[in-house]
């Protein structure tokens, strides 16, 4: 995976959530629709999506399935990874 900034990872994750949970009954979505839901500039959405290698079409947008797969590939969602999880709890005691 090429180097990806934390901000881009956050935005792509949000785009993926929108494509997975918020859009139903549609085949395409525009950068304007995504930007309106997230209240960010649509040119930033286009730039982010371009980094995934997905071509958009003016007045048509992006194919949702294609865009989801491209984001998953960019963020390596489909790759299995070993994870080590450490949890810490603070217990407050009042006497």
Residues 6+ apart with CB under 8 A from 77: 16, 71
List the alpha helices (DSSP H) in 3-63.
6-17, 31-38, 42-50
| 2 vs 16: which has the higher pLDDT | 16
| 64 vs 59: which has the higher pLDDT | 64
In the chain, % of residues over pLDDT 70: 84
Ranking 26-40, 43-57, 81-95 by mean pLDDT, the lowest is 81-95
Residue pair 59/69 in contact (Cβ under 8 Å)? The answer is no
pLDDT in tens, 4-42: 889 999 999 999 999 998 778 889 999 999 999 999 999
pLDDT for position 80: 64
Q: How many residues does the chain have?
A: 95
Task: Compute the average pLDDT of residues 34-62.
Answer: 93
């Amino acid at each position: 995976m090429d180097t990806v900034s934390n901000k881009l990872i956050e935005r792509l994750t949000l785009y993926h959530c929108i494509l997975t949970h918020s859009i139903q009954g549609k085949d395409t979505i525009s950068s304007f629709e995504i930007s309106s839901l997230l209240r960010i500039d649509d040119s930033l959405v286009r730039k982010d999506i371009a980094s995934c290698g997905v071509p958009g079409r003016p007045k048509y947008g992006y194919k949702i399935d294609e865009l989801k797969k491209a984001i998953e590939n960019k963020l390596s969602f489909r790759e299995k990874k070993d994870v080590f999880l450490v949890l810490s709890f603070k217990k407050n005691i009042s006497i």
